[in-house]
Amino acid sequence: MNIGLIGGIAGTVIGVTGGVIGTWASVRNTSSPRERAFVVKASVIGWVAAIVFITLLLVLPSPWRFLLWVPYGIALPLGILTWNRKQQRIRQEESQDTAA
């Protein structure tokens, strides 16, 4: 086996492990069932999107695979901002419900 293949496999395993741990921590750190349901749903969407993105990177021919980074570079930060805002809104609504 050459070093590039070993590095690619090791990097993939480390990356997926980090993603799994991050997903687990996000779900674990929720404070209500409604927030947990949102985080699980958003995590599934994120994992599916990442798998589709990686698959397209591997399958598409060369000029198109590079162009795939443009929508990814826009969609990822927007998705993160939307996720964080919605989760914060859920937390605020839940804290108002418990205060009332």
DSSP 32: S
Query: Residues 57, 81, 86, CA angle at the centre, nearest 5°?
Result: 120
CA distance 40 to 4: 35
**pLDDT tens sequence across 51-97:** 999 999 999 999 999 999 999 999 999 999 999 999 999 999 998 88
pLDDT at position 24: 98
- Mean of all residue pLDDT scores within the chain: 94
pTM: 0.87
